Structure 1
Amino acid sequence: MYKFATYLVLFVFSIYWSITVVFISPSNYINISLLEYSYIFETFFYQKWAFFSPPPSSNDRLYYVFQNKITKKERVFEVIEPITKLKSIKAPFNTEEDILDYVLSNTVNTIRDEIVSINEVIKYRQTTKKIILTSDEKIKLYNKRLEGGSSLQTLKNYSKLVAQKNNIEIESSTIKILIGSIEIPKFHYRNSDKIKNSGTILYESEKFEL
């Protein structure tokens, strides 16, 4: 019985790490072809490998768009930059801002990783399977992977606090989440007037209500 338990543990351990190695290895035919199934594995065994990661080349931006159901008037709020500035101002007494920045930034990074995976799936289908996806099919693929995930749900829940802070009646509004990035100029260009820090929208959620 002891030997059976030992062999079972070793077997499960081997399978787990074999799958992990496949998903974290550099892009190749095997892991790209299995990207559509990686969501199930990541849901139960999420892990983030970031050894020797290069410095970031852009800053994340998280926008909440509130639209009044009756007047259709929109109000837009970016939430990451104000938290970052407040965290700097209140240091070292910035525990609340530090935790909030950690949660939002890591959630956005997780969604960005998901977007990269989806793009790899699209590229794999187009180059290997010769399946050309329409714009609507691509949107459905993004929504299928992201809309039902816990990361986007976390950001949806946070919209309640954004609405409360900005005196918005959330019951009378539809909400949309936009995830974007703003390029960080290289150090020797930091004071150049020729550098325009333009932003890019990476993902736009479907409208939702709370």
Structure 2
Amino acid sequence: MKLLRPIIYLSFLGYWVITFLFTMPDNYISLQYYKQNQWFQALLFQRWGFFAPPPNYDERLYYEFRDKQTRQTQTFEVLAPICDMKQQKAPFNWHEDIVDYLLSGSMTGISDDLNEMRQDLQFKHRQQARQAADTTGDHSLREGIQAGVNFRTLQNYAGIVAQKNRIDPARHEVRLILSHLLLSKFADRFSTAPRREEAFFVSDYVTLNR
């Protein structure tokens, strides 16, 4: 018991120190240990919405399936239907709530990872006295995201989307499009104009996991 108590205290202390370092503005430690930070966020994902201002956008997640032979595409957005089902089934919406949490959490992780990777790339370019990122920078960002845990979670869900829409996974490949649908300003709350949408990540076409 005497050994257990300090171990528990040290574990909590270590957890909060790591959380503090990785949630601070970009610093030397978070940049040097980017991969470890990515795994920490994936295994111990946290929402800090209580401390943040309200969002100014809705999230949208599109799955674009492309036939390998005909090159024809079919696109499905998945978050809006899940939110509708959560409202319809409340309070017995635990399944939809879990799916929404996994997909939204993965999208938030990808957005955070993109920001950190861009800042890391800019930091390296400044060290090399380069003025701006070249086209290989965008390619490396996309590859880095697609190798991460958050992207693989969304990629795995593509199999469920394909099954629901009777899409043959052997014949199709899929591209993920993550976007923000901007909320209208309060002054424009009665406007009928379509809301502006901005894609913040578009993946390569990847194979469907079966």
After TM superposition, the score normalised by the length of structure 1 is 0.82
Q: CA deviation at 1:15?
A: 6.3
Who is 2:165 aligned against?
166
Who is 2:54 aligned against?
55
Q: CA deviation at 1:11?
A: 7.7
User: Aligned with 1:171: secondary structure?
Assistant: coil
Q: What pairs with 1:115-194 in structure 2 (closer than 5 Å)?
A: 115-131=114-130, 132-144=132-144, 146-193=145-192
Give, as a single letter, the amino acid of the residue that structure 2 aligns with 1:59.
D
After TM superposition, the score normalised by the length of structure 2 is 0.82
Query: C-alpha separation between the residues in 1 aligned to 2:142 and 2:32?
Result: 11
Consecutive aligned runs of 4 or more in structure 1 exceeding 6 Å deviation: 5-15
Between the two proteins, what is the percent identity of the paired residues?
A: 30
Q: CA deviation at 1:121?
A: 1.4
Q: 2:203 aligns with which of 168, 193, 205?
A: 205
| Contact 2:121–2:137 (CA under 8 A) maintained in structure 1 | no
Q: CA deviation at 1:47?
A: 4.2
Deviations 1:107-126 (Å, cap 9, x if unpaired)?
A: 11111111111121133234
Deviations 1:119-142 (Å, cap 9, x if unpaired)?
A: 211332344542342112322133
| Contact 1:104–1:155 (CA under 8 A) maintained in structure 2 | yes
Superposed CA RMSD in Å reads 2.7
| Contact 1:118–1:142 (CA under 8 A) maintained in structure 2 | no
Who is 2:95 aligned against?
96
Query: C-alpha separation between the residues in 2 aligned to 1:95 and 1:110?
Result: 22
* Residue 42 in structure 1 maps to residue 38 in structure 2: yes
Segments of structure 2 that go 5 or more residues without pairing to the other structure are none
User: Aligned with 2:153: secondary structure?
Assistant: helix
| Contact 2:38–2:113 (CA under 8 A) maintained in structure 1 | no
